[in-house]
Amino acid sequence: MQEVINALNEAQQEAVKHIDGSLLILAGAGSGKTKTLTTRLAYLISEVGIDPLNTLTLTFTNKAASEMRERASKLIPPNASMPLLCTFHKFGLLFLKFNIEKLGRANNFVIIDSDDRKRILKRIAKEHKIDLNIAFISSEISKYKNTLLTADEILKKAELPDYRKIATIYKDYEAEITENNLVDFDDLLMLTYQILEQDETLRKETSLRYQYIMVDEYQDTNELQFKLLELLASEHNNLCVVGDDDQSIYGWRGANIRNILEFSEHFKGTKTVKLETNYRSTFPILKAANELIEHNSQRIGKKLTSFKGDGDKVKLFHSLDESLESRSIAKEIKVLLDKGVPSDEIAVLYRINALSRSLEEGFTKEELPFKLLGGMRFYDRAEIKDMISYFRVLSNPNDDFSLERIINKPKRGIGKVTIDKLKKAAFESQSSIFRFLKEQDVGTIVSKKAANALKEFVANIELLQSEIKHSLHNFIELFEETIGLKRYYAAMIDGTERVQNIDEFIGFFREAISQTPNLALDIFLNEISLQSDQDNIDENAITIMSIHASKGLEFEHLYVIGLEEEFFPLLGDGCNMEEERRLGYVAITRAKSDLTLCYVNSRFYKGQRKNIEKSRFLGEAGLIQGEALKISKAPSYKIGDLVKHKIFGIGRVQAVNKSRQEYKLKINFGGNKKEILSSFVQSV
């Protein structure tokens, strides 16, 4: 054990040897946080003599828990009990199995997944005749549970009609899953918290059982996880958290960066240890990362130093457009592969998923093997499959397979029963579904409402087919106006990204038309099929992924594309510039020795080619000299967000207005409306 400790640097040893009291390990990228955490666990067990059963180590993913468990098992005595090392939600499950009866529930409960939850919500919404996007309802309910808000509280506070409707569904949903002894993913923590908060004796027993608690990736914790940790550590304050405020990139899904920023305020007597030696990247890469992140104001502050020392400068790669960018990157990567560089040491990152389309095309043309990590291939995404299916039906109306996919997208009240009736009738008439709809009176086999919707559908398809013969340019404008596919997807919880993907597809279509004015729709569709069919991919492939998906990974040769205003950073309502900057920091620090940041003069944006400016991050990272830096703060909050004020409690943002150097929020605190500066509230 001593040899393992001696191999650590001074800061790591300091963290490992801290025993009692709260401890914040501020671990920079590539600074050996997992090694430090597992060594500290082993030190407590092997050197201090703490019973492994009195420790609790919490992670966010099963993969991280498994890795830590494997490392820890090699460090602790072979005859020692295995400490509890699991995800937050696994801990909640174990706790509820023993204690859920305290809520009047049986411990033979069944956990439902997100699809099960959506099915229940869909049925309840239908019963109430509420026509809201089910994914949005599910997301809001998840948000309420993770901020410990009940349906009754939402009903009292909600001012907008849609949120009152959601609260009504939430109330019925909770009654149904409780009655049927079901537990959803959010309940694993919410119910655990409720039991501990209500039962003083059990809270003390549980806290005294887990006398040494450690938490990985603490910057990703939400309100509920923080409150749960408060209860678990209430009897001893022996809470050690490891995280990096500069890598907090999940605010959009509920992570609260204030948990790590204000840790020493919440847990008195906190010792803070900064791990600032980076073992991954060379000095020029860390210099760019340090300079970029220093522009953030919401951070504790640290500066990474390179263990590896000097290396090649960070390269800037400037192209005219995304097609040239992807082809040039592909050619560069070919040279690297020819030199013997392993393909799994090469990656390309992007901020917006829609940017993967040009990369996939460029790599396919150069016959480079690639894998898309942490997301679907561009042409596999539902919204793009819908666009392609519409185009296929317009090109060949007798394509029943494609027609089935889009006949109820956007929703037209054409359910499975109706579709099955149409398929049967068309088959008996030896006709395609579309020809049957066009030539027969379907009112005799389906409802009047469905018949009218189908009649309108046929008319729209024929209108678009007619326009295609005159002008493909005008057709694409008429398509959205007539079909409304973007409006349909915009209403979803991830609607912004889906609309961006549709815009990227439309932009690609327009580009194809401009290059081949007499382009036929079927030829365009065939080209897509070739581009989206990449066979025989093995694990030895270049990785293409979003920056979010890259967290925790590292690559010898790294390209980051889309370093332009509006693409990276994102701009506009709801954009959090500090989180965008943290994403930039995460992207840069994935590189070990060779980093290339790419930007272009123009990209397709919202369906149109647009000239764009290079990203402010290039200047802030010190990579472009002599240019004025744009250091502007975008609002952290948008209309509809739930926020918390230390005096007025929880409220919903109704308006966001600029006020000198920050933003003034109009907030409804359960009917009590206030105008509050944004720095005085926090997200919930």
Per DSSP, the chain holds a count of helices (H) and strands (E) of 29, 22
Q: Which of 405, 590, 592, 603 is catalytic?
A: 590
The answer to whether the annotation marks 443 as part of a ligand binding site is no
Any catalytic annotation for residue 57? no
Which residues in the chain show pLDDT less than 50?
532-538, 626-634
Any catalytic annotation for residue 247? yes
Instruction: Return the pLDDT at 135.
Output: 86
Any catalytic annotation for residue 371? no
The answer to whether the annotation marks 29 as part of a ligand binding site is yes
Class of domain 379-530: mainly alpha
Cβ-contact 599, 563 below 8 angstroms: yes
**Same CATH topology for 305-375+537-621 and 379-530?**
no
Any catalytic annotation for residue 428? no
Instruction: Return the pLDDT at 631.
Output: 39
Instruction: Return the pLDDT at 215.
Output: 97
Cβ-contact 669, 649 below 8 angstroms: yes
Can you give the length of the chain in residues?
684
Cβ-contact 284, 591 below 8 angstroms: no
Structure tokens at 566: 């509006």
Q: Which of 217, 325, 564, 594 is catalytic?
A: 217
Instruction: Return the pLDDT at 533.
Output: 40
Residue found under tokens 């398809």: 461
Instruction: Return the pLDDT at 648.
Output: 86
Instruction: Return the pLDDT at 636.
Output: 63
Q: What is the pTM of this model?
A: 0.74
DSSP state of 563: -
Question: How far is 174 from 53, CA to CA, in rounded Å?
Answer: 34
Residue found under tokens 């990656």: 347
Average pLDDT, the chain: 88
The answer to whether the annotation marks 30 as part of a ligand binding site is yes
Bond before 569 cis per omega within 30 degrees? yes
Any catalytic annotation for residue 627? no
Pairing assessment for the beta strands 212-215 and 239-243 based on DSSP bridges: parallel
Domain ranges of the chain: 1-94+190-275, 110-180, 305-375+537-621, 379-530, 641-683
Question: How far is 399 from 393, CA to CA, in rounded Å?
Answer: 6
The CATH T-level fold of domain 110-180 is Arc Repressor Mutant, subunit A (1.10.10)
User: Around 618, how many Cα atoms within 13 Å sit in the side-chain half-sphere?
Assistant: 25
How far from 637 is each of 609, 617, 642, CA to CA, in Å?
29, 22, 9
Residues in contact with 126: Cβ distance below 8 Å, sequence separation at least 6, in sequence order: none
Instruction: Return the pLDDT at 632.
Output: 39
Instruction: Return the pLDDT at 635.
Output: 54
CATH no. of 305-375+537-621: 3.40.50.300
The answer to whether the annotation marks 28 as part of a ligand binding site is yes
The answer to whether the annotation marks 32 as part of a ligand binding site is yes
- The candidate with the shortest Cα–Cα distance to 290, out of 636, 638, 681, 588, is 588
pLDDT in tens, 77-101: 888 888 999 999 999 989 998 999 9
Kindly provide the b/e burial profile for residues 458-488, where b requires at least 16 CB atoms within 10 angstroms of the residue's own CB.
bebbeebeebbeeebeebbebbeebbebbeb
Any catalytic annotation for residue 590? yes
Instruction: Return the pLDDT at 658.
Output: 65
Instruction: Return the pLDDT at 378.
Output: 77
Instruction: Return the pLDDT at 660.
Output: 53
User: Around 123, how many Cα atoms within 13 Å sit in the side-chain half-sphere?
Assistant: 8
How far from 447 is each of 122, 248, 431, 444, 452, CA to CA, in Å?
22, 52, 21, 8, 9
Q: Which of 140, 186, 187, 216 is catalytic?
A: 216
How far from 456 is each of 423, 577, 582, CA to CA, in Å?
18, 45, 48
Residue found under tokens 């650590």: 8
Class of domain 1-94+190-275: alpha beta
